[in-house]
Chains A and B, each alone.
Chain A
Amino acid sequence: MSDVVEKTLTALPSLLSLDSQPGSAKLSSTSKLGALIRGITELTSKHEEEKLIQRELASLKDQVSSPNTSMRQMKEAMVRAIYCEMLGYEASFSYIHAIKLAQQGSILDKRVGYLAVTLFLNENHELLLLLVNTVLKPNVPQRYDTCNTPLVEEKLNHPKEIIRRKAVLALYKFYLIAPNQVQHIHNRFRKALCDKDPGVMFASLHIYLQMIKGYKDLTASFVTILKQVVSGKLPMDFNYHSVPAPWLQIQLLRILSILGKNDQSTSEIMYDVLDESLKRAEINHNITYAILYECVKCIYTIYPKTDLLEKAAKCIGNFVLSSKINLKYLGLKALTYVVQQDPKLALQHQMTIIECLDHPDVIIKRETLELLFRITNAQNITVIVEKMLEFLHQSKDDHTTIDLVGKVAEIAEKYPLQTMNTVFSLGGDMIQPDIPNSFLKLLSEGFESEEENKKLRLFAVDSYILLLEGETRNLPQRFLQVISWVLGEYSHLRNDLDPARVMTLLTKLLEMRQTSSETKTWVLMAMTKLCSGEASVSIARSVCEDLSSSMDTVQRQRAHELLLLSQDRALRSQLLPLCSDPEPLEVDSSLSFLDAFVSEALAAGAAPYKPPHQRQEELAQQKALSLEPYELSLPINMSSSCVTGRQSPTLMSVSSGLSGDSAELSHKGGSTTLKLEGVKRVWGREGYLSKKEPVEEVAQAEIPSPLSSPNQHTGASGTSSNTHPPIPTPEPEQEKQQLASSLFVGLGSQSSLCLVRADIYSTQDVPSHSVAVFQYSLSVIRPVVHFEVMGMLSYQSSHKSHEVEFTYKLPLTNFIRPFTVSTEQYGAMWLAFSNDTKQNLNLVTDGQDSLTDTLNVLKGKLNLHIVEIIGMEGIVACRLAQDQPCLLHCHIHAGTLAVWLRSPVPDLPDSLLYHCQRALEGT
């Protein structure tokens, strides 16, 4: 619609209204339009609707072409024609009348005319020329836009701001259509930017966003404007929910981020205002979050500044942890945007990310996968690909599938074949054709080492043989093509493999009804490469007999080649040398050897060759008169059958059961769901690495690197809780942690999942053969029940070096400190924290007041602070570090202590609860 909205520099645009009632008017029961609309809503079938509209159109046609129709009636008729078009019926007879209406009559008439024209005509419609040429104030930017620019330029000086603003937007549209034509008026844009009306200035920003790169000198101006907006210098009119001109701020931030990208000195100008924007945007409203999001993006785009980055990271954290789903999504998006620069940020939020992977909302899942895609590395690739494929299993949307398959292929190309195989069988014919190609290229050109190549190829041959021996009916065509090529090219590498066996397997493919003729040619090519030995030749012969009468010319040709080459061994080895000889083929891409043929054909009267794009253009020109948006819906029965075809599997199976020749057709029409079902059976989880393997990998990665000298301090990295026998966390939680550790390996400098941070506190250097003391301050990054500090000490004595490993187990309670707050503060914090957990615990029952007794036990053992006890309820607080509190709300319920823990830190409530439980068990 946006194109259509394009219009009006008319002196005074006026409201289009037919019945003379105000905007609030309820439906006018008497008007013809009202009758039409009501008539349509009462109908029950598509057929009836069609009849009614055709009747309406016929009467409209009479009305508009009658010379007696008054302006007012014409206007009314035009609105009804618009309505019919909106429903998808063509009212082309009224187009010319719409233009006429736009040219004459009162302002109101003109407005209806313009509305009709903008809705009826697409931007290539020939009638637009008429409009542009005849209307006094031409304003629809079209191919003839250049001649309009002076006119529009004039309007830039119009005293009314609304006109100036529209003129700026018209020029913007010109710029989009033909950037070169408006170059001479760039200074006009600058004038618009300095316009005294903020609206005109806002409009000019659209232009600057497009061509800002050449205007570094304007940075200071943009910064000043933003500063003024942020500090509320604009008129109140521009406030939206008491935020000053939010959309303007967003636009400015986008411009600034383009300006500051890779440019330190420009970026420095904007640091202050960005900081200010972050500070100001604190109202709890969607629109401020929109500004924050843009601000964060800007901060990460421009030349980095540490304290801004920290603030932005915190902001992203708040988004990700938010309970509002839209914000969470935006947080993920922001993470995706910044994760390459700051992988540690993803590390901080890994548990949230894991949760998002299983989120019921597809778009959140998609964004999470996008995020994972960005952090793929050698260690976590298998898990990530597995997650992506899981998603592919469920996905029904073609665009998503194509996009995702492309991504999987991109990351999997460097990695084991299994992944690629799974990709081919799942993504199937959705895969872009260049993906199998690049995979085959990878296989043939190979890696550095010849040994590695051979191993890979042998592996491919083995796995494909295995595949073909199983059920092949559900394998996608592209995959079969890849298989054929690989077998043809490399099965000779496996010495103990009889070529005849491969030939038999391939023959099976030829006989399958589902196999497309393109695939069949691939298979035949493979056979040609393979057939050596008696048995193979006889197989080849029988295949050729079958295919020599094929309807497909290419197949017949290939079969013929196969027959001849299978009998002439010398010629075959010359034509199709074994791949061990990697001499590149020389290809004459200019096809000069065909010159003589072409000139002969031309002389004989053939049409000259036209490149595809030229042909396409000509086709498009022929179509110029038709209205594309409506084309699809016109034949009603067609569109409805299209819908059922997509959704009903029964219909599909009918069409695929027609005849051999329809095989390819039914494949094209086949919905992805059909195939995926079948594929699932063959390619279940066994198809790729089982879940256990990545986890083992992780365990290895967690071993801290040994120390080389005692002076270097060890990176005392903790391990995740899953290496401990006493695991209190519930099963799914543990699974998530495992998943987390396998997903986030290799991120950050530590290259392993680090739960505790060790900062060197002080070192004491002591002379030889005595004691050295190292002190570390440990701070918790991610709470678990127990931390394990592992270290390696290496030292030298009598010219031998020794290494001693040590581990030390620290319960979480070692890090817990009492947290002194007032009841009011507690109340405020309680509402703000998002991670919580609840459980019933044992009560200490031997005293008078069991609640106080129980809380005192907890206080003594766990170092908590009791904030207040009122009757049966008590509130308790503790903290990990300065800003990592955990609040407990306890009350006595049916003889147990019902505890409710809340904290801003994920996992802290769960881990702490475990210790509470233990503390009370002993009593």
Chain B
Amino acid sequence: MSLPIRFILIQNRAGKTRLKLIEEVHAVVTVRDAKHTNFVEFRNFKIIYRRYAGLYFCICVDVTDNNLAYLEGIHNFVEVLNEYFHNVCELDLVFNFYKVYTVVDEMFLAGEIRETSQTKVLKQLLMLQSLE
């Protein structure tokens, strides 16, 4: 029994990477033309990626999964990030990587898309923030 989502990766174009897996993903994703599909095969899975400026958001799922659903899942996630960080930029993600984890936790759980409602996620995030 397996989970649909294997991993989620965010990396930049330069892709200074240290881990083998990330290096491989970077290699397959960055060579692709903007006119190509947003999907690429990776080992026995597939990677669905989307580029926002210099950042690649990659999500690795089973080959049988619905490509567009995850492609839009990425966009939904980015819209939340954008809202949360008020016009998110790469540096926000780098220096606040632990906050990004929080957002991921709110939206994805147990390898599944958990919450898709942006209003709900943001409400929860703001509530957490108010605790400080």
Other-chain residue from A165, A250, A333, A360 in contact with B69 (beta carbon distance below 8 A) = A250
Nearest-CB residue, chain A, relative to B3: A2
Contact in complex: A15, B20 (CB < 8 Å): no
Contact in complex: A115, B98 (CB < 8 Å): yes
Question: Which residues of A lie under 8 Å from residue B105 when comparing CB positions?
Answer: 5, 7-8, 13
Contact in complex: A108, B95 (CB < 8 Å): no
Other-chain residue from B68, B72, B104, B111 in contact with A240 (beta carbon distance below 8 A) = B72
Contact in complex: B5, A2 (CB < 8 Å): yes
Contact in complex: B85, A245 (CB < 8 Å): no
Question: Which residues of B lie under 8 Å from residue A82 when comparing CB positions?
Answer: 98
A843 to chain B, nearest CB (A): 37
Contact in complex: A206, B112 (CB < 8 Å): yes
B106 to chain A, nearest CB (A): 9
Inter-chain CA distance A328–B20, complex, in Å, is 32
Give the residues from 79 to 132 in chain B that come closer than 8 angstroms, CB to CB, to chain A. 84-86, 91-92, 94-99, 101-102, 104-105, 108-120, 124-125, 128-129, 131-132
The yes or no answer to A602 lying at the interface (CB within 8 A) is no
Question: Which residues of A lie under 8 Å from residue B23 when comparing CB positions?
Answer: 643
**With A26-B92, A397-B41 given, is the CB distance from A162 to B124 under 8 Å?**
yes
The yes or no answer to B19 lying at the interface (CB within 8 A) is yes
Inter-chain CA distance A82–B102, complex, in Å, is 14
Contact in complex: A363, B36 (CB < 8 Å): yes
Inter-chain CA distance A237–B115, complex, in Å, is 11
Contact in complex: B113, A287 (CB < 8 Å): no
Nearest-CB residue, chain A, relative to B81: A23
Contact in complex: B39, A329 (CB < 8 Å): yes
Contact in complex: A361, B98 (CB < 8 Å): no
**With A2-B7, A247-B116 given, is the CB distance from A23 to B129 under 8 Å?**
yes
The yes or no answer to A166 lying at the interface (CB within 8 A) is yes
Inter-chain CA distance A245–B120, complex, in Å, is 13
Question: Which residues of B lie under 8 Å from residue A173 when comparing CB positions?
Answer: 110
A3 to chain B, nearest CB (A): 8
The yes or no answer to A69 lying at the interface (CB within 8 A) is no
Other-chain residue from B5, B35, B41 in contact with A363 (beta carbon distance below 8 A) = B41
**With A2-B3, A245-B116 given, is the CB distance from A88 to B68 under 8 Å?**
no
Nearest-CB residue, chain A, relative to B100: A23
Question: Which residues of B lie under 8 Å from residue A629 when comparing CB positions?
Answer: 19, 21
Question: Which residues of A lie under 8 Å from residue B73 when comparing CB positions?
Answer: 247
Question: Which residues of A lie under 8 Å from residue B72 when comparing CB positions?
Answer: 240, 246, 286-287, 290
The yes or no answer to A153 lying at the interface (CB within 8 A) is no
**With A6-B109, A169-B109 given, is the CB distance from A294 to B95 under 8 Å?**
no
Contact in complex: A203, B66 (CB < 8 Å): no
**With A23-B129, A326-B71, A329-B37 given, is the CB distance from A199 to B120 under 8 Å?**
yes
The yes or no answer to B51 lying at the interface (CB within 8 A) is no
Nearest-CB residue, chain A, relative to B28: A397
Nearest-CB residue, chain B, relative to A176: B1
The yes or no answer to B38 lying at the interface (CB within 8 A) is yes
Q: What per-residue 1/0 map shows which CB atoms of B4-20 lie under 8 Å from chain A?
A: 01111000000000111
Nearest-CB residue, chain B, relative to A7: B105
**With A14-B128, A238-B117, A287-B72 given, is the CB distance from A294 to B92 under 8 Å?**
no
**With A17-B129, A27-B91 given, is the CB distance from A632 to B68 under 8 Å?**
no
The yes or no answer to A372 lying at the interface (CB within 8 A) is no
Contact in complex: A83, B97 (CB < 8 Å): yes
Contact in complex: B36, A176 (CB < 8 Å): no
Nearest-CB residue, chain B, relative to A83: B97
**With A15-B131, A107-B131, A326-B38 given, is the CB distance from A23 to B91 under 8 Å?**
no
**With A88-B18, A115-B101, A633-B20 given, is the CB distance from A238 to B112 under 8 Å?**
no
Contact in complex: A360, B33 (CB < 8 Å): yes
The yes or no answer to B55 lying at the interface (CB within 8 A) is no
Question: Which residues of A lie under 8 Å from residue B99 when comparing CB positions?
Answer: 15-17, 23
Nearest-CB residue, chain B, relative to A114: B105
B49 to chain A, nearest CB (A): 12
**With A33-B95, A325-B36, A361-B36 given, is the CB distance from A166 to B85 under 8 Å?**
no
Give the residues from 25 to 39 in chain B that come closer than 8 angstroms, CB to CB, to chain A. 32-33, 35-39
**With A238-B116, A329-B37 given, is the CB distance from A25 to B96 under 8 Å?**
yes
Inter-chain CA distance A197–B30, complex, in Å, is 41
A619 to chain B, nearest CB (A): 21
Contact in complex: B69, A247 (CB < 8 Å): yes
Contact in complex: A16, B40 (CB < 8 Å): no
Question: Which residues of A lie under 8 Å from residue B120 when comparing CB positions?
Answer: 199, 237
The yes or no answer to A730 lying at the interface (CB within 8 A) is no
